[in-house]
Chains A and B, each alone.
Chain A
Amino acid sequence: MSTTMTMAKAINAGLRAALESHPNSLLMGEDIGSLGGVYRVTEGLKADFGADRVMDTPLAESGIIGTAIGLALRGYLPVCEIQFDGFVFPGFNQITTQLAKMHSRSEGALSAPVVIRIPYGGGIGSIEHHSESPEALFAHTAGLRIITPSNPQDAYWMIQQAVDCKDPVIVFEPKRRYWLKGDVDTTAPTSDPFSAHIVREGTDATIVAYGPLVPVALAAAAAAEEDGRSVEVVDLRSISPIDFDTVTESVRKTGRLIVTHEAPTFGGIGGEIAARVAERAFLSLEAPVLRVGGFHMPYPVAKVEEHYLPDIDRLLEALDRSFAY
């Protein structure tokens, strides 16, 4: 049974399903109740589930994550919304020193299955702190799982799979794709949320993308086809853990790899993928792994962000360099 909906609606429907199937689940965040969130992702949920389960919290990210940890220790399943990527940092300490370590420091006695939703990424013409991609900062912390859907179908299921997971999960939601429409099959879950998907098959090169850049990678692959190049596109879906098996297998087939993300390339996920592929499939590589990402600067002002964000042209230029090597 398939329904067409936007990604925002898909997450809304996924949260609704989680609230229905888990009586101990609850949503926490700033403005998520009556307003339905600044992106309306939680619209209507307070009306249907009540203020006790869809909680408008005080404006304090560390307090949101910290009390969510306490609720989780008591047996609840809190799903926290951080309003914007750049506002997660007041809660960074709670996420990295407390949430990520609760299971290991208690030697498995305790778990803190908190879900944290973070709208992330740029391309929305907004102001400072509203367009960032901080996923690598969290991926570096053991104990966290990080996933990012790129389409409504994944969004619907991955948010529910995050709630089901016994580990803490951060769901990075590509905010500029909230209005992207797609078919959602509410009867059959997508596969393992921590696996990568090949979303376009190809034979000459691989582009690994995730979240907001998957549609960009697909468009670049379509453009490359006009030049006679067959480009495979891998939607990473999970940033921690990373499905290196799927990525490596693709590179063994194509011999060329471009990794793209909005986050700065330095110290980013692309570097980690390049290193792993070099370790696992060095002899399959026809060219060095290339990264197309953000620059080593604070996210630029809206009027020039198009030069910062990876786009079709930058991906095609990287493909040219790879093929010219």
Chain B
Amino acid sequence: MDVGHLPASEFDSAGLEQSLMGAPELNPVPDMVQLLTIDGELRQDGTYSSYVQDLTPEELRGFYRDMFLVRRFDEEATALQRQGELVMWVPLTGQEGAQIGSGRALLPQDYVFPTYREHGVAYTRGLELAQLLRRFRGISHGGWDPREVNFHLYTLVLAAQVPHAVGYAMGMARDRLVDPKLPEAATVAYFGDGASSEGDVHEGMVFAASYNAPVVFFCQNNHWAISVPTEVQSRIPLANRAQGYGFPGVRVDGNDVLAVHAVTRWALERARSGAGPVLIEAFTYRMSAHTTADDPTKYRLSADEEAWLDRDPMLRMEKYLRRQGLADDAFFEELREEGRSMAVRLRENVQQMEAPGFADAFTDVYAEAHPLIREELDAHRRYEAGFADAEPAAGTATPTSREHNA
């Protein structure tokens, strides 16, 4: 050390080294973890291969099946939006590897805080996919009971769910102080490259590090925050930011479902064991539009999109399965049939979803009785009752099935 340069004295450097332990890369530009090449060849990695070696043929086929069905779901939802059955849709195409790979690393006791594109993760949690569409049909701001599948509601205010995931993880750790017999558990906070610029990601990471919370920050870098490329959000690989908080950051090929699975398993096991948070940057690509209201031709070249076609997460998994003799034409044909019938069921399910009565909107504003809610609901009902003799108009409120508790 140069004379005049003093080591920082305010930190317990031994503790810091401890919290960075297990970080595979501390270089300025980290290597990207990849296990499956785009040709479907499985590579060996000293740290991560062990996390996929125990996968059975059934599980390996399952990864492909999950990705296939989720993409089929995505296509059907897009069609439903085009036909006016949904008010909007947020496609996930291209990000199946990042979502299925990470989602399948979760244990039932883990808890997920998604943003609004994590349909694949939702599927791995066992959420009925039609439930996801209630929000996009304009009949609910939520759509499901998060406690049943440990998958929180979608959050549209970017990154607002990140500190929630940290707080929830702090709660999980506290629970085990009271009852050590509870299973070790962790949360996963999903967000994107765009949301990585939000202050809540920073504050969430500060809290997670300070309290050593069992949380995995899972950033899907899909290259585009609507029309703004990742370079505008960050001048360094996003995974590198973890070092600034004092925990490991790993960049993984987000289109390699096996690598994502391995890295996420590693990170979750580490978090659950009490070793603290991890940031995973899944390097992927949003192959479709931001939403059905978006037009990517305004801001990116079709050549760029085509360059990612070869890296499609499903293609390389198919190559791997065929190469290993784990799946044949019959498997893929059966899957296509399964996808078709799933889409038919989904469509029927969605078309049967009815809008709530307007009066239902008063019901859950508060958990406890509230005089203003009661007063306004009563006034609304009196107003509606004034039309009792008139033709019932479509979509107007009828006496609600879910009475306000006031």
Contacts and interface: CB of A to CB of B under 8 A. Distances in A.
Interface residues of B, number: 43
B203 A71 contact: no
B365 A103 contact: yes
Interface in A62-110: 62-63, 65-76, 78, 90, 93-94, 97-98, 101, 103-110
The listed residue with most B CB atoms (<10 A of its CB), out of A101, A105, A111, A113, is A105
A104 B365 contact: yes
Contacts of A67: 163-164, 166-167, 170, 204, 207
A57 B206 CA distance: 10
The listed residue with most A CB atoms (<10 A of its CB), out of B147, B177, B367, B371, is B367
A29 to B, nearest CB: 13
A199 B133 CA distance: 53
A196 to B, nearest CB: 12
Nearest to A65: B163
B365 A142 contact: yes
Contact of A109 (B142, B177, B200, B366): B142
Given A71-B168, A74-B175, A106-B153, A66 B370 contact: no
A300 interface: no
B163 A166 contact: no
Contact of B199 (A62, A71, A167): A62
Contact of A108 (B171, B367, B370, B372): B367
Contact of A103 (B199, B203, B367, B371): B367
Interface in A230-262: 240-245
B363 interface: yes
A310 interface: no
Nearest to A166: B367
Contact of B366 (A78, A105, A143): A143
Interface string B150-188: 001101010010111111111110110100000000010
Contacts of B155: 98
Interface in B357-405: 363-368, 370-372
A241 B365 CA distance: 12
Interface in B113-154: 113, 140-142, 145-147, 152-153
Nearest to A110: B146
B349 interface: no
The listed residue with most B CB atoms (<10 A of its CB), out of A69, A107, A113, is A107
A111 B364 CA distance: 10
Given A63-B204, A63-B207, A109-B142, A71 B363 contact: no
Contacts of A52: 174, 177
Contact of A60 (B187, B206, B367, B368): B206
A62 B163 contact: yes
Contacts of A62: 163, 199-200, 203
Contact of B157 (A71, A98, A103): A98
B344 to A, nearest CB: 27
A76 B147 CA distance: 15
The listed residue with most A CB atoms (<10 A of its CB), out of B155, B157, B187, is B157
B210 interface: yes
Contacts of A245: 371
A142 B146 CA distance: 22
A295 B140 CA distance: 41
- The interface residues of chain B, by DSSP majority, are classed as helix
A51 to B, nearest CB: 11
Contact of A93 (B152, B157, B210): B157
A66 B364 contact: no
B406 to A, nearest CB: 11
B166 A66 contact: yes
A219 interface: no
Nearest to A68: B167
Contacts of A74: 167-168, 171-172, 175
A58 interface: yes
Nearest to B147: A109
A68 B204 CA distance: 11
Contacts of A71: 167-168, 170-171
A249 to B, nearest CB: 14
A167 B373 CA distance: 14
Contact of A58 (B142, B177, B210, B365): B210
Contacts of A70: 113, 163-171, 187
Nearest to A73: B168
Contacts of A107: 140-142, 363-364
18 contacts: A63-B203, A63-B204, A66-B160, A70-B170, A71-B168, A72-B167, A73-B152, A73-B164, A73-B167, A76-B174, A78-B167, A94-B200, A142-B365, A167-B366, A241-B371, A242-B372, A243-B371, A244-B371
Interface of A: 52, 57-58, 60, 62-63, 65-76, 78, 90, 93-94, 97-98, 101, 103-111, 113, 142-143, 145, 165-167, 194, 240-245
A-B pairs, top 5 by smallest CB distance, nearest first, are A70-B167, A66-B163, A74-B171, A63-B203, A67-B167
Given A101-B141, A106-B142, A109-B142, 14 more contacts: A57-B207, A63-B206, A65-B163, A66-B164, A70-B167, A70-B168, A71-B167, A72-B167, A73-B168, A74-B172, A111-B367, A143-B366, A166-B367, A194-B371
